[in-house]
Structure 1
Amino acid sequence: MRISKNLVAAALFLSAGTVALAQEHQFKLVKQFPVATDGGWDYLAVHGNDLYISHGTHVNVINKTTGAPVTVIENTPGVHGIAFVDGVHKGYITNGKGNNVTVFDLDNNKTVGQIATGENPDAVMFDPFSKRIIVCNGRSKSLSVIDPGADKVVNTIPLSGKPETAVSDHSGKIFVNIEDKSSIAVVDIHKNAVIAEWPIAPGEEPSGLAIDRSTKRLFAGCDGKLVVVNAENGKVVQAVPIDDGSDGIAFDPQSRLIFSSNGTGTLSIIKEVAADNYKVAQVLPTVKYARTLTIDEASKTIYESVAEMGAPTGENKRGTVKAGSFKILVIK
């Protein structure tokens, strides 16, 4: 049988791709840091040598290498997200039950004020293009735009549904997962207005969101799927299989790896082979309910929060956190 040169070339290309994926660094769970307080949890964030951990009604700050406690930032009821603005030496924490943002001094982690936002502020990020803090208000279905120089809300942007996570292209656009609409809203930060909204079927109820600014691709974490979206036109490029319960998504631009923390107890690691080509590189067993994460790009370390949960009771479908069980998983 004659084999065409094109078929041979294609086979060699696929073989090379498989070898490249096989040679990727294999991540491992290398440490666990116990955290000596109780309560629920959500986002984590790395700043300098410290790891900031949302936890119940406060933020635990620990050393990112040793796990040694640094301090606790108190009075953050229903805490969700943490963001940093180095230019003004301040950090910002969203308080879902307080309908406000706590402002703290990055030099000493002391609270310096609070800013009223919309209802149930959740994810928060700093957009270096506009030099604004962007807050996702879950219940009031809006974004609060905060001037970190004046520490006040300067704009409120209405959305079609519940915002879950936002990312910036660093060129004037903010992309927001709209969880209950299974879509991504595109916000023009010059106009402080939504200029487009893209459905992301077959993905549903997107939670975590990350962006590759070089290829202009968005990565939206949905149950069972990581949906890759073209950030220029909203086209769904690929839906990559992941495990259920995805809540956190991170992207490392150096290795071109995408990470999805899945509440079922796995970390899905996906390789961006090309702008429109994605392959699962590794599925790492972690711990059940480890569903949020952050990446320290400097050390290529992934951190996840988790605790043991008791049996569900009544309306509490997740159960209650077992006292003394909260910890940080360190993956490298």
Structure 2
Amino acid sequence: MRIKSISLTAVFLTLSFNIYAQNHNPLKVLKTLQIGGDGSGWDYLSLNPQNNRLYVSHGSRVNIIDKVTGSPVAEITDTNGVHGIAFVPDTNKGYISCGKLDMVKVFDTHTSKVISEIPTGKNPDAIFYEIFSKKLIVCNGKSNDVSIIDPQTNAVIRTIDVGGKPETAVSDNKGRIFVNIEDKNEVAVIDVKTFTVLHHWDLDKEEEPSGLAIDTKTNRLFSTCDKMLVILDSNTGKVIKKTSIGEGSDGVVFDSASNTIYTSNGEGTISVVHQDHANQYTSLPNIETKKGARTIALDPSTHHLYLPTADFSTKEKDSRGRAAILPGTFQVLEVGIAGTGKP
């Protein structure tokens, strides 16, 4: 029954995608999960598949949302400069990178209480659990290095100099980690068996790589740069293709069920690129979202997309000269195909 169910799901997703591509029927925002708050900024959000909750970075806190109902569950406070949230499978451990504190906080996913603090490099940013090494990988934006945390001891066991500002990272689950180096316009490759840098791959003059995703079946990396998606061979570093995307992208996901790449663009769109095969890609119509929705998470069970954003003032500016966030308007957009339950 399980095999049959998976097969039917795959057929359904393929048919849904084909209808979408042929009719240019765009995905759309299905729900807006209202969170509120004081007008603080945000960065990444993560889905914990073990409890169906969304964990959303938000100023100096993490908002925890029930994915199904959209209701708030809890908050984890005192996470100043929060960037990312990661989880260790089959445990009740979650990890939060706190950029302004130069530390990662460990919390219990059952109680949402902080249980430990781990000093890292300066301004820890993106964080994820790496399956091959069974370690947590933390990108430290101001010390130009990557911290390797052992979840068994909750301690940093190695710090790797990557020669520039690490923005985010992914794994091929076979012993190599790939890191976007934002200020050097390259991807660094780390061997997790030795925790050493193997390569620095050039992004063919494209600038400010931010979001990074991987297809482990075709060995392809998807790096979002300034208005450009760069697709590389994860074995060799060869640039396979470059394709235009929206402005202000800070995130990208790859849905292996439909072989689709989604980039979240701060201008208020999602760029959609279909992987026809390993060396051929087709750009599809953008999905309209909202201004500020620049990071993204994929739910692999429903294939819905989630993007945090807020409403902005048309008159007031913040300290960086950008449109000020209106207090009480922080939200998460849920994106899918209307009437199907899946994108």
The alignment's TM-score, normalised by the length of structure 2, stands at: 0.89
Give yes or no for the alignment of 1:319 onto 2:319: no
Q: State whether residues 185 and 205 of structure 2, in contact with CA within 8 Å, keep that contact through their aligned partners in structure 1.
A: no
Q: State whether residues 212 and 253 of structure 1, in contact with CA within 8 Å, keep that contact through their aligned partners in structure 2.
A: yes
Q: Distance in 1 between matches of 2:178 and 2:23?
A: 33
Query: Residues 56 and 158 of structure 1: is their aligned pair in 2 closer, same or farther, counting only changes over 3 Å?
Result: same
More off after superposition, 269-278 vs 210-219: 269-278
Q: Could you say which residue in structure 2 is the equivalent of 1:14?
A: none
Q: Could you say which residue in structure 1 is the equivalent of 2:41?
A: 40
Tell me the CA shift for residue 284 of structure 1.
0.9
Tell me the CA shift for residue 207 of structure 1.
0.3
Q: Distance in 2 between matches of 1:149 and 1:197?
A: 30
Query: Residues 41 and 87 of structure 1: is their aligned pair in 2 closer, same or farther, counting only changes over 3 Å?
Result: same
Q: Distance in 2 between matches of 1:208 and 1:274?
A: 21
Q: State whether residues 26 and 286 of structure 2, in contact with CA within 8 Å, keep that contact through their aligned partners in structure 1.
A: no
1:268-307 matches, cutoff 5 A? 268-307=271-310
Q: Distance in 2 between matches of 1:40 and 1:62?
A: 17
More off after superposition, 255-264 vs 278-287: 278-287
Q: Distance in 1 between matches of 2:240 and 2:139?
A: 26
Secondary structure (helix, strand or coil) at the match of 2:183 reads: helix
Query: Residues 275 and 309 of structure 1: is their aligned pair in 2 closer, same or farther, counting only changes over 3 Å?
Result: same
Q: State whether residues 104 and 113 of structure 1, in contact with CA within 8 Å, keep that contact through their aligned partners in structure 2.
A: yes
Q: State whether residues 91 and 105 of structure 1, in contact with CA within 8 Å, keep that contact through their aligned partners in structure 2.
A: yes
**Structure 1 counterpart of 2:190, from 184, 187, 196:** 187
Tell me the CA shift for residue 313 of structure 1.
4.2
Q: Could you say which residue in structure 2 is the equivalent of 1:155?
A: 158
Secondary structure (helix, strand or coil) at the match of 2:31 reads: strand
Query: Residues 20 and 103 of structure 1: is their aligned pair in 2 closer, same or farther, counting only changes over 3 Å?
Result: closer
Q: Could you say which residue in structure 2 is the equivalent of 1:3?
A: none
Q: What fraction of aligned residue pairs are identical, expressed as a percent?
A: 44
Query: Residues 86 and 289 of structure 1: is their aligned pair in 2 closer, same or farther, counting only changes over 3 Å?
Result: same
Q: Could you say which residue in structure 1 is the equivalent of 2:123?
A: 120
Structure 2 unaligned regions, length at least 5: 1-17, 337-343
Q: Per-residue displacement from partner, 1:131-170 (whole Å, max 9, x unpaired)?
A: 0000000000000000001000000000110000100000
Q: State whether residues 22 and 281 of structure 1, in contact with CA within 8 Å, keep that contact through their aligned partners in structure 2.
A: no
**Structure 1 counterpart of 2:229, from 216, 226, 230:** 226
Which structure's relative contact order is higher, taking Cα pairs within 8 Å and 6+ residues apart? 2
Q: Distance in 2 between matches of 1:20 and 1:302?
A: 16
Query: Residues 297 and 236 of structure 1: is their aligned pair in 2 closer, same or farther, counting only changes over 3 Å?
Result: same
Q: Distance in 2 between matches of 1:147 and 1:166?
A: 17
Q: Could you say which residue in structure 1 is the equivalent of 2:89?
A: 86
Tell me the CA shift for residue 281 of structure 1.
2.0
Tell me the CA shift for residue 325 of structure 1.
1.2
Q: Could you say which residue in structure 1 is the equivalent of 2:101?
A: 98
Query: Residues 237 and 20 of structure 1: is their aligned pair in 2 closer, same or farther, counting only changes over 3 Å?
Result: farther
Q: Distance in 1 between matches of 2:94 and 2:171?
A: 18
Q: Could you say which residue in structure 1 is the equivalent of 2:58?
A: 55
Structure 1 unaligned regions, length at least 5: 1-17
Q: Per-residue displacement from partner, 1:234-290 (whole Å, max 9, x unpaired)?
A: 011101111110101001111111110001110111100110111112301111111
Secondary structure (helix, strand or coil) at the match of 1:303 reads: strand
In the alignment of these two chains, the number of paired residues is: 316
Give yes or no for the alignment of 1:28 onto 2:28: yes
Q: Which has the larger radius of gyration?
A: 1
Q: Distance in 1 between matches of 2:25 and 2:66?
A: 25
Q: Could you say which residue in structure 1 is the equivalent of 2:257?
A: 254
The runs of 4+ residues in structure 1 deviating greater than 3 Å are: 18-21, 23-26, 310-315
RMSD: 1.8
Q: State whether residues 202 and 239 of structure 1, in contact with CA within 8 Å, keep that contact through their aligned partners in structure 2.
A: no
Query: Residues 152 and 25 of structure 1: is their aligned pair in 2 closer, same or farther, counting only changes over 3 Å?
Result: farther
**Structure 2 counterpart of 1:201, from 181, 199, 204:** 204
Tell me the CA shift for residue 23 of structure 1.
6.1
Q: Distance in 2 between matches of 1:181 and 1:321?
A: 31
